[in-house]
Amino acid sequence: MTKMFRHAKSFGLVAASAGLIFALLLGSVVPAKAAEERVVKIGLHAAWTGVLATETVFAQEGMLDYVKHFNAQGGINSVKVAMPWEDFRSLAPNGVVCYEKLKRAGALLHLSPLDTEIMVVLRRLVKDEIPFIYYPGSTSHVLVTDPLWVLGSGPEFENLITGAMKWAKEMWTEKRPLRVGYFHADEPILNMGWQAVVPFLIEMGLEPVGDEKLPLAGVIDSSVEWLRLASKKPDWIIASHYGSTMVVVIKDAARLSIQERGINLISDIATLSDQQVDAAGKAACEGWYRMAIEPLKTELDKSPGLKIVIEAAERYRGTKPEDLDLAYTRGWIISAVAVEAIRIAMEEAGFEDLTGRAIRDAFFMIKDFDTGLIPPITITEDMPFFNDHWYLSRIENGERVRVTDWEKIPRIGHLVLVDGEVHFKRF
């Protein structure tokens, strides 16, 4: 018995020694393998829930799916891109928690759909030198820093509005001035943006009649605001409402017969999504115009890259081509530009020395980047956004149709920081 015990003990020591040697050998292999799996992370401040979800869900799916597609093509010289996300539930105060979690996860670039959420963390991101993309559209004056750390996916608000109204004026046949009203969410980018654009509209020979605003969330009726603005007899009303609030706004406009009063309705680039149209009902959306910076899903002839997007949506989401949401395409473009900036930054700094500042600087090195979806993209310090082209669409018989071709935004100026104060610099 003693001999058997000693033998067992001896065998146990040998086994333990062999196990230790194996573990050491394995340990020398695992880190080497892990070291080969090099990843650059983009942090997504997601709004999977909350008031913005009617617009953001499909855009976020497009962002994530582009990353999957890109990695499947081999990444950047075998370096993969990852997009960890945190749901801030469409509530700006949650931005700090999302930011800190994603920063700890190693994200060197962040994406957010809400300017007020970025405002919450603006000082932190500047201190940490982490660039942000405000992906619904143009960046707000409240996000201007020196140097710029927040970029947008579309042109400045002032230039979009003047561009749309320039077109409306060209279509105008009456001798009196065209009258313009603005119906918008109570958000900084929109409140001050409207005040900034009014002088330009007047210079163009238009007559701004005023604006009405509602909270971003919690709106169940917009009748009073609609009727008050309609009573001023505008010829055009520009709408900048988002998420579920926009659904309420669309339904109320139809119920109150706003268009039957001779008023044209047009939304900005960040709203009137496919999901909102479905929620409000196509009949209620009939006749609405929209400023657009992403292609229509039927435009394979104008945007050959749509074929890849459509295939990816079906492969990753099971989405049929006819059900593709235009916000998905917007998300795809945003990720494509973000990854291109990372690629350039890696060329300049290398993977080991990659930083948020290197990625920030790389954005402004993007020249004629072709996504196959929109006109080639060039980003500069004077043009810190992804697209200086746009077009108008209109909902006719329940479908979106083009009203204009791709055109360059007629830019009247841009936001600059001078001695700590933001100014709109005219060109």
131 and 60 in a common domain: yes
359 and 265 in a common domain: no
Structural element, H or E, at residue 393: strand 389-396
146 and 46 in a common domain: yes
Spatial distance between the Cα atoms of 171 and 408, rounded to a whole number of angstroms: 18
101 and 47 in a common domain: yes
Tens-of-pLDDT digits for all 427 residues of the chain? 434 333 333 434 434 444 433 343 344 444 444 456 799 999 999 999 998 888 899 999 999 999 999 999 999 999 999 999 999 999 999 999 999 999 999 999 999 999 889 999 999 999 999 999 998 877 777 788 989 999 998 888 888 888 999 999 999 999 999 999 999 999 877 888 888 889 889 999 999 999 999 998 899 999 999 999 999 999 999 999 998 999 999 999 999 999 999 999 999 998 999 989 999 999 999 999 999 999 998 898 889 999 999 999 999 999 999 899 989 999 999 999 999 999 999 999 999 999 999 999 999 999 999 999 999 999 998 889 988 899 999 999 999 999 999 999 888 777 777 777 777 777 7
Prediction pTM value: 0.86
Q: How far is CA 262 from CA 204, 258, 396, in A?
A: 22, 8, 17
Task: Let me know if residue 234 belongs to a domain.
Answer: yes
- What is the residue range of 130's domain? 39-155+305-363
223 and 281 in a common domain: yes
Task: Let me know if residue 25 belongs to a domain.
Answer: no
Domain with 45 in it: what CATH number?
3.40.50.2300
Place of tokens 């949401």: 325
193 and 139 in a common domain: no
148 and 180 in a common domain: no
345 and 236 in a common domain: no
Task: Let me know if residue 17 belongs to a domain.
Answer: no
Task: Let me know if residue 179 belongs to a domain.
Answer: yes
193 and 51 in a common domain: no
Q: Into how many domains does the chain fold? A: 2
412 and 274 in a common domain: yes
129 and 84 in a common domain: yes
Task: Let me know if residue 5 belongs to a domain.
Answer: no
162 and 144 in a common domain: no
Q: Report the b/e string of 362-377 with b at 16+ CB within 10 A.
A: bbbbbeebebebbbeb
